[in-house]
Amino acid sequence: MRLENYIDHTLLKADATDSEIKELCLTAKQHRFYAVCVNGCHVSLAKRLLEGSKVKVAAVIGFPLGATSTPVKVFEASEYVQNGADEIDMVLNIGWLRARQMTTVQDEIAEIKKTIGQKILKVILETCYLTKEEIKWACEAAIAAGADFVKTSTGFGTGGATLEDVAYMHEIVGNRIKIKASGGIKDAKTAREYIKMGVSRIGTSSGVAMVAP
């Protein structure tokens, strides 16, 4: 497997500068990563820097808490797609999920997917806060709403991806939806373990080290 084909090269820290985004995009092009994943304010810059390459631009919305209102998330998604985002990584409303407001959770995901059309939608579950039952609910809601991926983590919660959680997610979703593992994945060995489990994308800020000879 070519690891670079799975990597969303990620920089989401609050103090990221334009020069750091430029470096992110340069290294993504050099190593032929699948995508860069950035905050919304950097989408236009990343799109310009990646022009002419095959590297996609993913933008996060409702990040990192998932607790902004649905209209705000919809506006973010629309704005970032207009600015050049190819993919949207949204944090679902974790409080609604834990309160079993499943129709509301599903409707929000569906509205965002409708807004971005054929663009890829990844739904971040933030599994560190969820029980297995809640992970199942979240996966089922994402599938029913037409999302393209479920994603483990923001990287800003109390924990990131785990092999146990990903195995359970795969058991639930099968081939109905793809999985992105993200949060705390820092070496090639771990990344390859996730891929062997059926993960289609790896979110990491350590992509360069992973593909180093």
- The catalytic residues are 89, 151, 180
Q: What is the DSSP string of 185-203?
A: --SHHHHHHHHHTT--EEE
Q: What is the largest CA-CA distance in the chain?
A: 48
Q: Beta strands 56-61 and 7-11: pairing type?
A: unpaired
Select from 28, 38, 23, 24 the least CA-distant residue to 6: 28
**Dihedral angle over CA of 42, 47, 53, 55, nearest 10:** 50
Question: CB neighbours of 132 closer than 8 A, spacing ≥ 6?
Answer: 168
